[in-house]
Amino acid sequence: MKTAVVWFKTDLRVTDNETLVKALSQNDAVIPVYCIDETHFKTTPFGFRKTGNFRAQFLMESLFDLDKNLRELGSGLLVLSGKPEVEIPNIVKQYRAHRVYAKREVAFEEKNTELSVQTELWKLHCELFTFSTSTLYHAEDLPFSIKDIPDVFTDFRRKTEKEAQIRSVFEKPIRIPSPEIQPPDLPTLSELGFKNVKIDNRAAIRFKGGESEAMKRLNHYFFGTKSISRYKETRNGMVGADYSTKFSAWLALGCISPRFIYQELKKYELQFGANESTYWLVFELLWRDYFRFMMKKHQSRMFRKSGIRNKEMATVKPDWKLFESWMEGQTGNDFVDANMLELKLTGFMSNRGRQNAASYLCHDLKFDWRYGAAYFEQQLIDYDVCSNWGNWAYLAGVGNDPRSNRYFNIEKQASDYDKNKLYRNLWLNKFDNSSDSRK
Ligand SMILES: Cc1cc2nc3c(=O)[nH]c(=O)nc-3n(C[C@H](O)[C@H](O)[C@H](O)COP(=O)(O)OP(=O)(O)OC[C@H]3O[C@@H](n4cnc5c(N)ncnc54)[C@H](O)[C@@H]3O)c2cc1C
């Protein structure tokens, strides 16, 4: 009897999960496993936690939902805590598994963890099989080798759209043969060292983790409200649930795949018509792909202060009081402050807000951009290593931007995108908006 471990990471779904499907087709039984990696909850060299409470909560909800979905297919999720390079081999030994299947990583730390696990598995004569499962276009289908991918997005997009095809999705398995798996005992936020998350009733959306919630959000945005047909005009908005898709948090943890979104988008277009807005979502998902491919191409250079351009940025000696005022939304610039408060109190900020808040830190305060990226890493509910560090480097002027200085004139941005101060008034008023805490 051939038994394999499926090691879930940021692919917390059963639909369109090639890793799971391949493990099922090549083995008699599989053991779905998630390891709560202790390093993900440590403090980084920049002084922030790698994961903050909003994402921790979202992760636990996603694991709960994945277990439920796996159980409906006859299996369940085995949840471990510790170091993957210790915990995954232990499970392999316990179940005498001969293979481990997992998502393929591209970023520096994640890749190192993957390699450490692989090294330990080799000692047990167990092989690690990995699959690229998080992009719209598969890396192998691109019209360039990774090292030749253009460093300018438009060049990448045009050629890719012209010459590559998007693969179809992997259907959800019908049944998962597994040994009996006890329901997981997920840690509470306080066990992970966090206070309970408080819901601010001004939050654009109540993000709840898991594939089931991701599907609900997609159906709401596409077929329920048809908001997708207006996306191109509304996507720069800042107030409310439906100015943009809000798919990011579910995409970041892999509760939904970009190819599944694409498949549903095509269904929607057949039924209700295609327009510039429906296309624009593909355009944005291509940005997401792009930062992942850039990470694969440039690796640890994506995290350097001088970035992939090896460009020295003129920064000032760190003034931590100033940095704190930025984090706390107390710089005195009302547009930046409103955005930073939204991030602090909800774990989310619009794309327009992120661009302005990042530009302000890099170009107005002349702060080392990596501190901003590290704070976002802690704080964002939708943190994705490639999208976060890639966008930050881009805005700091050391990344993939062909323009030499992407400076945002914040006053102009505020009057263009928040003309009637609706957004600023929402976040800068003084009364307490936090409501009940959730368990
Ligand atoms: C400084 C900075 C940091 C960022 N950090 C992250 C991050 O950690 N995680 C993350 O998912 N996005 C990040 N983004 C990109 C973008 O701001 C968010 O994806 C978006 O605001 C999420 O809201 P949405 O899902 O409603 O987006 P929508 O406008 O509905 O876009 C749909 C999807 O397209 C993708 N997308 C859109 N814009 C971008 C972009 N510029 N780069 C990469 N993907 C994009 C996202 O997956 C998003 O969910 C960052 C942008 C900036 C400027």
DSSP designation for 382:
T
Find out whether 167 and 317 touch, Cβ atoms under 8 Å.
no
Q: Is 384 annotated as a binding residue?
A: yes
Q: For residue 337, is it within any domain?
A: yes
User: Is 147 annotated in some ligand binding site?
Assistant: no
How close is the Cα of 356 to the center of ligand 1, in Å?
A: 14
Q: Which pLDDT value is given to residue 195?
A: 87
**Ligand 1, atom nearest to 285 Cα:** 34
pLDDT tens-place values along the chain, 439 residues long? 999 999 999 999 999 999 999 999 999 999 999 999 999 999 999 999 999 999 999 999 999 999 999 999 999 999 999 999 999 999 999 999 999 999 999 999 999 999 999 999 999 999 999 999 999 999 999 999 999 999 899 999 999 999 999 999 999 999 999 999 999 999 999 999 998 888 899 999 999 999 999 999 999 999 999 999 999 999 999 999 999 999 999 999 999 999 999 999 999 999 999 999 999 999 999 999 999 999 999 999 999 998 888 887 777 788 899 999 999 999 999 999 999 999 999 999 999 999 999 999 999 999 999 999 999 999 999 999 999 999 999 999 988 777 767 789 999 999 999 999 999 999 998 644 554 444 3
Phi (first) and psi of residue 99, to 5 degrees = -145, 155
Report yes or no: 14 and 66 within 8 Å, Cβ to Cβ: yes
Q: Could you give the number of structural domains in the chain? A: 2
Please tell me the distance between residue 393's alpha carbon and the centre of ligand 1 in angstroms. Answer: 14
Centre of ligand 1 to C-alpha 281, Å, is 11
Query: Which atom of ligand 1 is nearest to 350's Cα?
Result: 21
Nearest-angstrom CA–CA distance, 275 and 39 = 44
Structural domain ending residue among the three candidates 111, 133, 155: 133
| Host domain of residue 49 | 1-133
Ligand 1 contacts (CB < 6 A) are: 235, 244-248, 251-252, 281, 284-285, 287-288, 291, 350-351, 354-355, 358, 376, 380, 382-384, 387-388, 391-392, 395
Residue 385 structure tokens: 């290593």
Q: Is 246 annotated as a binding residue?
A: yes
Phi, psi of 429 (to 5 degrees): -70, 160
Q: Pairing mode, if any, of strands 434-437 and 198-200?
A: antiparallel
Within-domain flag for 306: yes
| Closest residue CA from atom 31 of ligand 1 | 284
Residue nearest to atom 22 of ligand 1 (CA): 248
Sorted by sequence, the CB contacts under 8 Å of residue 362 that are 6+ apart come out as 313, 369, 372, 395, 396, 397
The residue from 97, 117, 133 where one domain ends is 133
Alpha-carbon gap, residue 38 to 428, rounded angstroms: 36
Which region, left, alpha or beta, applies to residue 125 given φ > 0 means left and ψ of -120 to 50 means alpha?
left
Which CATH number covers residue 347?
A: 1.10.579.10
Q: How far is the CA of 387 from the centre of ligand 1 (A)?
A: 7
- The answer as to whether 368 is a domain residue is yes
417 is in an annotated binding site: no
Residue 178 belongs to a domain: no
Please check whether residue 188 lies inside any domain of the structure: no
Ligand 1: atom nearest CA of 349 is: 21
Among 84, 111, 133, give the residue marking a domain's end: 133
Separation of 78 CA from ligand 1 center, angstroms? 31
Looking at residue 16, what DSSP letter applies? Answer: T
CA of 422 to the centre of ligand 1 (A): 22
Residue 247 known to bind ligand: yes
369 within domain boundaries: yes
Place of tokens 């997992």: 102
Burial 191-222 (b: 16+ CB within 10 A, else e): ebebeebeebeebbbebbbbbbbbbebbebbb
Beta-carbon-side half-sphere exposure of residue 219 (alpha carbons within 13 Å): 6
Q: Is residue 103 part of a domain?
A: yes
34 has binding-site annotation:
no
ipTM > 0.95 for the complex: yes
The CA 248 to ligand 1 mean position distance, Å, reads 6
Q: Is 244 annotated as a binding residue?
A: yes
Could you identify the residue written with the tokens 């005009």?
Answer: 233
CATH label of the domain that carries residue 18: 3.40.50.620
For ligand 1, what atom is nearest to the CA of residue 284?
34
Residue 166 lies in a domain: no
Q: Can you tell me which atom of ligand 1 is nearest the CA of 383?
A: 8
